Structure 1
């Protein structure tokens, strides 16, 4: 009876100079009680006034962040969405699972702690889940993989542990999965959705290798940086020809890199600090603005096809031979902004000792099998030695 007295209410509206009585759709009692529980478990951080409209003597569908269709809550966006605004603190209440028609659930960045509610898998209509940049801990509920309508999962910048459930990889409608900057471990599942365009898992502790068919060719953004992933990826990468961003840096990947990857519509290619090896031989002029292949085991001569890259990091590899003349031309006209070639086995570059490197361009040649013909400031981590010891250069030739 108490529930009925609270949830079944009439709302009076004054419009212009006439008084009209409107009987609004009455919020489902289960949703009403769920919102009350959610409110009790959370508070505004100092400076936030998000909950100031949550007056349960009024219509809950008028609350900030609450969106209804008829008598059901279909979207719940907790916190002021404006950039830089203070967030919320507290825990996410299990009553969220009672909002049976909920299609969208988001929480703005703040200080919400504790685990994700184990009742999230009860939200069979959920399409968008976004609880990023908080202090969520514990494991990802395996039951999320049962939410067959789920399209976007953003749980990035939290403290999640455990593995990424295999069932999440089987979500048929999954388009965006952002779990970066957590503490996830274990193997990656095979992702079956042919609609997956963004996969961001950087800064975790993921292990294992990637099968050639583990990721769909629909991917446009892929970041697996700062993990402990191993094995070759050449067959996998050859399939991902829709990529416009690729970051596999700071792993333990091995093997060659397919030449065709340099023809993908990429704006950024980051493969640094792995164990890739072999030659780098693009089949055509490379149109990728930034290419970072540093700190690997690439070898052979530097391809002139790379001279069209604006920021090129080839340092700390095993490249040998002379630097193609096309690099010098583009460097001197400032088309190349960064050209890092230090710590290789290069034997020469056709550049005049009196050449002036444009102020907005950076060149580093030190610690190769030559004396750098021009003075150019190198990054501090390049060290102070200008030339590689002759014994190392002779051994490499041999």
Structure 2
């Protein structure tokens, strides 16, 4: 019997050994598999992706085309040159082991997806048709070494959010139509070796690149001005097709240390500076030279300080106190420039903006106030307020232009009326349709009127896919108007609460409501956590959330409440009552957390279909927050609260998680409300889970206000 048992045991072991590779082969991480299924569907299930399957759960074991794995995790996605179109889906952000994503040489267009693998080392989006800016999620990829978005159709200025990309070695943004100045955060790209910016519309100087350890730099065919920094003349620099200044560059301000490139450890020598000897290159600057430099700086500084103190001593005491109480300005001025023009600081930051120009020790994310070279500033005569710097990258319209486009501001073209003024539909001769906001004189009193172009300059620098874009302005004959992009589907308030014609009265399906909440949350996250200083919106409500043709949200009036602090706060026709955080009612002080509260109220509107305050309802139900908050964690009560227009077509778990986010946002104590980045993360997780309940709740029967996207199962 013993030999039989031994034979049986041997047979069992043999079976286990034979079956083990099969078990391992089918062990792709479920999160990665789910993300690739979403990607496949978003790409319209292309036939060229062999082995891919909308229901497949083992991309690694089934050798899906372009997919590389390590163990159970997907590490590379290479889909270059396959003629793909569609989108990259919304779930790539969950693929935390992917380090290489290459979708170059395809036919992708529109917006670059926000949710990209967060731990990428290489990202290649080149040679596509992307045209809607770079998502700031890329700026948080601290492991990124190679970034290529060349040969697309990107037009927007770069946001100033790249300070964390210290591992980036190669950056290629060439052959787009990007505009604006280079962001200050480029100076933090301490690992950069090659940068390709050619064939864009960049303006300003390239001074921000002076200290980078670059070996290769191509800035050809842009609109750069100023002088080429000396350190960049010693590298492989391609610079033709710009408007460089000729002649010697102006000397730096007294006490400014000489600009030197930050050399990489593998290239310690670098090129000798002009006038240095070979001995100096080998042994460094001598101690005597250092002492001489220090003494020179001290002497010059003492002379400047003497005249500065003498000048200040002649001013009235009230003037000195006034200057001392002003916040530090991002536009830096030398001591000599300060004595040259006592009013120069107020030229760029009027005192009425002090609340939005807090002291900031890091470079501002967007150069909002500079429309000419800082080097050129020292040559100019003192600037009066009336000649404030013109806005950058926005068009100046005449009153005649806007009157023609709006039919002399005919009531038939009236889109709405808010606390800043009326908004009109404007159709121009070339067929372009825009929205014109005519600012009330009460919102912009006479003492701020001269600073209107500064306000426009600040607002024009806000660029985000979910923030309504400012495209122009008009300031003539005492009239002040802002020209924005036009969104054809009106406001979220209109869709949720107004009785529209039969063509437009179809309810938003649940997943579209989540999509609108997520897009609005991302807009607020951008204002709160990307802009520096942070921007408090102060007027978050459904009437300020505009929907485009695809029903994507765009937050309007962003920055206006901060930049026009004396604006009329009167409630408009849609009603601001019900959105205001308790602490604002008590103190009148708006903060980031009061924006979070107002956003929570908007989410309640999306959940219930009710107005924030409705006097037509019983007294206990008039305040939406007061009525809904106690019921948010009771699933039975919650299902009764849901907008009846949804007709039960929603996942119960989804509305429960949605309600959990609402409960956090509308807490009475502001310190307990989450930052918007956490709200975004929660809503992204909710969207990702929505794929698991696909086709379960009959969403194919629901429709959107325009009959579009009604069959989608995920936002």
Pair member with larger Rg: 2
Q: Shorter-normalised TM-score: what interval?
A: 0.3 to 0.5
TM-score by length of 1: 0.47
Task: Give the number of the structure whose residues are more often strand, by fraction.
Answer: 1
Larger relative contact order (CA 8 Å, sep ≥ 6): 2
TM-score (norm 2): 0.27
Higher normalized helix content (fraction of residues): 2
